[in-house]
Amino acid sequence: MPVITCIDDLKQLHKRRTPKMFYDYAESGSYTEQTFRNNTSDFAELLLRQKVAVDMSGRTTESTLIGEKVAMPVALAPVGLTGMQSADGEIKAARAAEKFGVPYTLSTMSICSIEDVAAHTSKPFWFQVYTLKDDDFMRRLFERARAANCSAIVITVDLQIMGQRHKDLKNGLSAPPKFTLKSMANLATKWAWGLEMLGTKRRFFGNIVGHAKGVSDPSSLSSWTAEAFDLTLDWKRIAKFKEMWGGKVILKGVMDAEDARNAMSVGADAIVVSNHGGRQLDGALSSIRALPAIVDAVGDKIEVHMDSGIRSGQDVLKALAMGAKGTMIGRSYIYGLGAMGEAGVTKALEVIQKELSTSMALCGERDVKNLGRHNLLIPKGFEGDWQ
Ligand code: GLV
């Protein structure tokens, strides 16, 4: 059993254990991957302000997100094809999140269905939806999420059209994988993964296959996106989805102060400042740089969460100190899942919580809710002075 000390250890194990097409799917940004890289490197530019001789006993990372108590303000982000990183991956990740006390967000593009995850967990989870042309499908999706007792829907607003990820095209990404000479050569080296997959029936897009009409290739993410997603989406339609759902709504993918104000005016309960992990608009600002202007615009009126680039508890601390009420992690837990299944997701959460708590102590903070700009050394011009 290797000694795991950080998220990068899990990443190395994930890479070794999981077929290349799925590891690459998680590890890609769109086009030149500039935004994907900047999401992490911009975190490194923000420094932490060390404080000494401050009582650091009795620290707590507990907080609330959209009114729900959480062990730390870190939710598991929706990630497509999670059940291809490890068999029944969504169930494993949801269970780890539930035991740890943080929200789990199930993706529409999951392998395990909403019903599968509900049957294997006991606390409500969040459900992520894409906005499709087919209102009947949307209505049924909301009904299924209600029946599964989901406590919020997370509407992804930045993926009506997919940013191209070169590796997915080169690898012929599909779920389940198609057996070509190239994919077979790689799959043949991933025995443990393959045996696990043979032991489950969940190998297709569980929320879509048998539920969506007119999808020519239900194993292909990109063909489903191109055929079914609604290019006409606007704020009026988002308001309509909020009404159709009738419960709490989080809008994910907001990078602009004006859009944040629009999100507020359609009655969102929270927004996630996110560039989709650098997977959509290549050339967009990193999320951590986009965050302050959005917090300034709406932060006292709506919950602002952020994702994209978080790989450590120090990153969580920085995002919270810059004004986010909560954070989401995607790749950081997917590495854990691909490396070691449910135990790996738990490990990722433990690593991040320990790093967060230790870094809080060294910054002279005992309560995660008290973090603020006073904990940071922010380089001049970090937030940009854009024309
Ligand atoms: C789906 O949301 C993706 O980024 O692949």
Measure 26 CA to ligand 1 centroid, in angstroms. 9
Quick one: pLDDT at residue 228?
A: 86
Quick one: pLDDT at residue 387?
A: 82
Quick one: pLDDT at residue 303?
A: 98
Cα 77 from Cα 252, distance rounded (Å): 10
Quick one: pLDDT at residue 243?
A: 95
Nearest CA owner, ligand 1 atom 3: 80
Quick one: pLDDT at residue 7?
A: 98
Of 88, 112, 81, 86, nearest in space to 174 by CA: 81
Quick one: pLDDT at residue 185?
A: 87
Measure 306 CA to ligand 1 centroid, in angstroms. 17
Quick one: pLDDT at residue 187?
A: 87
- Decide whether any atom of ligand 1 lies within 6 Å of the 159 Cβ: yes
- Decide whether any atom of ligand 1 lies within 6 Å of the 203 Cβ: no
Quick one: pLDDT at residue 171?
A: 94
Amino acid at 250: I
- Decide whether any atom of ligand 1 lies within 6 Å of the 79 Cβ: no
Cα 142 from Cα 334, distance rounded (Å): 26
Cα 332 from Cα 284, distance rounded (Å): 21
Choose the catalytic residue: 14, 166, 211, 276. 276
Here the tokens at position 214 are: 């007119």
Quick one: pLDDT at residue 213?
A: 73
- Decide whether any atom of ligand 1 lies within 6 Å of the 83 Cβ: no
- Whether 374 is catalytic: no
Task: Please identify, by atom number, the ligand 1 atom nearest to the C-alpha of residue 25.
Answer: 5
Check if the beta carbon of residue 380 is closer than 8 Å to that of residue 133: no
- Decide whether any atom of ligand 1 lies within 6 Å of the 154 Cβ: no
Quick one: pLDDT at residue 384?
A: 84
Measure 261 CA to ligand 1 centroid, in angstroms. 25
Measure 79 CA to ligand 1 centroid, in angstroms. 7
Output the tens digit of pLDDT for each of the chain's 387 residues: 789 999 999 999 999 999 999 999 999 999 999 999 999 999 999 999 999 999 999 999 999 999 999 999 999 999 999 999 999 999 999 999 999 999 999 999 999 999 999 999 999 999 999 999 989 999 999 999 999 999 999 999 999 999 999 999 999 998 888 888 888 888 889 999 999 999 999 998 888 877 777 676 777 777 888 888 899 999 999 999 999 999 999 999 999 999 999 999 999 999 999 999 999 999 999 999 999 999 999 989 999 999 999 999 999 999 999 999 999 999 999 999 999 999 999 999 999 999 999 999 999 999 999 999 999 999 999 988 888
Which of 110, 127, 221, 229 gets mutated to test ligand 1 (max ligand atoms within 8 A of its CB)?
221
Nearest CA owner, ligand 1 atom 5: 80
Cα 163 from Cα 2, distance rounded (Å): 36
Instruction: Give the Å distances, CA to CA, from 32 to 42, 163, 345.
Output: 17, 11, 29
Measure 224 CA to ligand 1 centroid, in angstroms. 12
